[in-house]
Amino acid sequence: MLGNEKTILGIQQENFGTSTGQDWFGTGNFITSFSPVDGNEIGKVRATTKEEYELVVSKAQIAFKEWRLIPAPKRGEIVRQLGDKLRKYKEDLGKLVSYEMGKSLQEGYGEVQEMIDICDFAVGLSRQLYGLTIHSERPSHRMYEQYHPLGIVGVITAFNFPVAVWSWNTCLALVCGDSIIWKPSEKTPLCAVACQNILAEVLKENNLPEGICSLINGEKEVGEWMSKDERIPLISATGSTRMGKEVNQVVAARLGKTLLELGGNNAIIVTPDADLKITLTAAVFGAVGTAGQRCTTTRRLIVHDSIYDQVKVILKNAYEQLKIGNPLDASNHIGPLIDQDAVRNYLLALEKIKEQGGEFLVHGGVLETEEYSSGCYVKPVIAEASNELEIVQTETFAPILYLIKYSGDVLDAIDIQNGVKQGLSSAIMTTNLREAELFLSHQGSDCGIANVNIGTSGAEIGGAFGGEKETGGGRESGSDAWKIYMRRQTNTINYSTELPLAQGIQFNF
């Protein structure tokens, strides 16, 4: 599956491109996937042309009309079969995720396990697409709310979770009765091809139509086609805040719906009552896991001045023990950044830290020995800085941790934590019940995720995932996130022989 082999989970390499469920084709320009692990070419995909895009949307429309008529629990059975396929291919797909994206092998396996978990969640959900019964003010009337399939769901995903985020959207949208068109990141197209092929096996084995779930590859313009397309009522987009604002503006102009999962600038507050052992584990993994390329990466550590120097020593010692190298080797803690553009952004951030008055506790740089031949391996950095610095206010997708001192009580720390434009994930380390409850109260974190005594990364699929402010406000995965994939309808039935009007209005003739 890796290196020079010509197939990705059974798909011939020369056919990578566009898929409407069971057929693979493509005539657009080639997009080449290079592994950040060693710089080698893994394979090529065909970019979707405008003509092919129109065919994909047409097939998705046709498939939706059939798929929505299948009872939801039967749709859940298809998702259950997808989960079984993912169990079968977990090792192969996990390795591909690690090799194409650059995250550790265990994180690659974990991402596929997350797909399996969301399949299980969606299967149960297929019998729980509930509405409400409401007492009417009019006699002999029954009023209720119900949910119907929405239509085509457009899914745009980022490179850092090349398969899991697709599954969050797809599994829920499938049980809701929607069809899906997926535009993955052009940086990790082969992971998408593999997932599409796995689902295509399930569709084919159940004699289901093409177009229930389709794959389109390409650059920015492909996402623009989707965003402008009135045939796609919902666009779910994961990526940078800049990208999300562009998508939101275009979709809103046609009064479509968006589900946005955008940037994060996540902080851990460390109070004098923190357990420093678990604080260290949470902070280090949160800051360097996936080489700092998670939307939930810990980017700021806000530490009380009474323990600040102690935390500095502990952190510096921990960073000195970190191993950087091939992510397929389980003994390494940190793999590469995704590509040379990411490396340039990392280096630019280091320059800005210097210019703006930050001081390095742990210095960075690019690793350039033969072992790091791809040029994508960088050293994790710790910088002492003020929360007000422009670079601290900015999300840099790299292993850079800002160490920020606070004095006073926990509300002062919360003010610092909330003092950024992003609002995804947050955490507090404390054994003080009052501090923990304040952090979770309406006076506390303004993020979509707020944790106590665990880090900022590593969300479970049972809870809705997403954030506030410039993170976009979207919610994916668990809880009642399924409602975004359906249209809501209020129904009133009059079973009397009269027609009383609401609010006591009289209309006699």
Q: Is the pLDDT of residue 5 over 60?
A: no
Q: Are strands 213-215 and 179-183 parallel, antiparallel or unpaired?
A: parallel
| Mean predicted confidence (pLDDT) in 453-467 | 93
Query: What's the CA gap between 147 and 222, in Å, rounded?
Result: 30
Q: H or E stretch including 509?
A: none
Pick the CATH number of 266-452 from 3.40.309.10, 1.10.1040.10, 3.40.50.2000, 3.40.190.170: 3.40.309.10
pLDDT the model gives residue 4: 38
Nearest alpha-carbon partner for 213 in 197, 236, 191, 224: 197
Residues recorded for the chain? 509
CATH number of the 7-262+472-489 domain: 3.40.605.10
| Phi and psi at residue 347, to the nearest 5° | -65, -40
pLDDT the model gives residue 11: 44
Find where tokens 């979709």 sit.
251
Mean confidence (pLDDT) of the chain: 94
Query: What's the CA gap between 438 and 435, in Å, rounded?
Result: 5
pLDDT the model gives residue 19: 65
Let me know if 261 is a catalytic residue: yes
Which of 338-342, 369-373, 417-421, 503-507 is predicted with the least confidence, judged by mean pLDDT?
503-507
Query: What's the CA gap between 179 and 61, in Å, rounded?
Result: 8
AA identity, residue 454: I
Q: Alpha helices of 206-339 — where are they, by DSSP H?
A: 220-228, 241-253, 276-288, 308-320
State the pLDDT confidence band at 501, using cuts at 50, 70 and 90: confident
Could you state, in order of their start, the residue ranges of all structural domains in the chain?
7-262+472-489, 266-452
For 332-388, how does the pLDDT look when each residue is reduced to its tens digit (9 = 90+)? 999 999 999 999 999 999 999 999 999 999 999 999 999 999 999 999 999 999 999
Find where tokens 């994206």 sit.
101
Alpha carbons within 13 angstroms on the beta-carbon side of residue 213 total 29
Alpha carbons within 13 angstroms on the beta-carbon side of residue 98 total 28
Give how far Cα 27 sits from Cα of 14, 31, 192, 229, Å: 11, 12, 18, 22
Cβ neighbours around 492 below 10 Å, total: 12
pLDDT the model gives residue 27: 73
Active-site annotation holder among 100, 111, 210, 261: 261
Which of 107-111, 225-229, 321-325, 496-500 is predicted with the least confidence, judged by mean pLDDT?
496-500
Query: What's the CA gap between 259 and 251, in Å, rounded?
Result: 11
For 71-109, how does the pLDDT look when each residue is reduced to its tens digit (9 = 90+)? 999 999 999 999 999 999 999 999 999 999 999 999 999
**Which residues does residue 153 pair with via DSSP β-bridges, in sequence order?**
180, 234
